[in-house]
Amino acid sequence: MIDISLLRNDIGSLEKILKHRGFDLDVNFFNSLEEERKRIQIKTQELQQERNDLSKQVGVLKSQGKDASDVLNKVSNISAQSKEFELQLALIQEKLNNFLLLIPNVPHESVPLGPDETSNELVKEVGTLPEFDFEVKDHVDLGAPLGLDFDTAAKVSGSRFVFMKNDIARLHRAIGQFMIDTHTENHGYTEYYTPYLVNGDSLLGTGQLPKFGDDLFVTQKNDDESLYLIPTSEVSLTNSVRDEIIDAKHLPIRMTAHTPCFRSEAGSYGKDTRGMIRQHQFDKVEMVQITKPELSYEALEEMLSHAENILKALDLPYRVMTLSSGDMGFGAAKTYDIEVWLPSQEQYREISSISNCEDFQARRLKARFKNQEGKNTLVHTLNGSGLAVGRTLVAIMENNQKADGSINIPSALQPYMKNKTTISI
């Protein structure tokens, strides 16, 4: 969540910048809560002072051997009033906290302002688009005879799931293994295996709750607690530092994990219903960094290069976009999208989002470190796909297809494929 001092010190400026995120800040509601909070705090302080004064009178009366019962009754009444005000103040604080939980992060000054993806800015294009002298197929038609099976998945689970078998399943596994090996051996990340089910506090900490509850799959653990299937291992990895004061010498922390991800896609019905582009279950290799504030934008550029290195090694053409204020995710202060070329669609499609959340998640998580002055300071958190495995499979299939329906395997993946160079019927 954002720092409440931003609202208290210059709510007008904050209201304007958040409009570029498509968010209407309810200034009147916040101001009314703040006025009530101040009123209660002032009254509480006045009662405290009055109680202190009366307590002194009690001491004087008793030292003089006089009856202090009337004054003691007044002290008792003030204590009862104070408790009532404490309850009112707790309720106000809860409303303020709930209000803050729904406010998106403030965009970094380098983020292009605009309402949606039309305002995104091109950073660069990398690679040569493939040319074909035959009719290009999409991954669904290419994969059908090779082991990509959507019909069986629909029978077993419903729409937006997939079965894979034979070399297609092996290629999918190889992609994830290659990514993990690259990030751990070349990029300095530590590999993690994390739970696929997390509690509500974890999703609150990284910003999926309360705003995006409809996009999550939830299970009932018992009458008192629900567990959620992770939408990304960003949730489990980032929450590993929740309620921690990290030794500064351990920063930055670089974490990676290969996990399935589960998303109900509640707001995406009718979009990308064909194939593997948008599914309820997909694999992703996630990168997370926990850094000192002054180093987080250096880390953002570093993470972008790490994701790019995967695409370069796989010889896939791609482009990098800086997302506009209106197209960024809820918790991001700045986001780069990497989009890979899909020949069947003749367009670039997102394969990775890499974001600096600054201290937005850390404030929810209470994730801190001691700075040079010994003061507990919020860390900055960053996350990014390194990459989405299913979409990488789609890109490899489509960019490396041959006229006979076979698929060339990128050289970087061949050691994971028993040195096969092609997948064919």
Residues making up the binding site for ATP? 263-265, 350-353
Measure the CA–CA gap between 223 and 236, rounded to whole angstroms.
23
Q: Which of 236, 325, 344, 353 is an active site residue?
A: 353
Known binding residues are: 232-234, 263-265, 286, 350-353, 383, 385
Q: Which helix (H) or strand (E) holds 257?
A: strand 253-262
The structure tokens 């293994």 sit at 177
Catalytic annotation present for 391? yes
Catalytic annotation present for 350? yes
DSSP per-residue letters across 276-295: TSS-SEEEEEEEEEEE-GGG
Q: Which helix (H) or strand (E) holds 72?
A: helix 69-101
Checking DSSP bridges between strand 253-262 and strand 190-191, what pairing results, if any? parallel
Count, residues in the chain:
425
Q: Which helix (H) or strand (E) holds 33?
A: helix 27-63
Measure the CA–CA gap between 19 and 322, rounded to whole angstroms.
19
Residue 303's nearest CA partner among 202, 231, 193, 380 is: 380
Q: Which of 278, 319, 349, 406 is an active site residue?
A: 278
Q: Which of 21, 170, 263, 364 is an active site residue?
A: 263
- Copy the structure tokens of residue 248: 């500064």
Catalytic annotation present for 278? yes
Measure the CA–CA gap between 104 and 259, rounded to whole angstroms.
27
Q: Which of 339, 368, 391, 398 is an active site residue?
A: 391
The maximal CA–CA distance of the chain, rounded, in angstroms, is 109
CA 55 vs. chain centroid, Å, equals: 52
Measure the CA–CA gap between 187 and 395, rounded to whole angstroms.
23
- Copy the structure tokens of residue 68: 């202090």
Q: Which of 34, 37, 350, 406 is an active site residue?
A: 350
- Copy the structure tokens of residue 14: 């904050």
Known binding residues for L-serine are: 232-234, 263, 286, 383, 385
The structure tokens 């993690």 sit at 192
Contacts of 150 (CB under 8 A, 6+ apart): 140, 161, 162, 163, 275
111 Rama class: left (phi>0) / alpha (psi -120 to 50) / beta: beta
* Phi, psi of 249, deg, nearest 5: -70, -15
> Which residues are catalytically annotated?
263, 278, 350, 353, 391
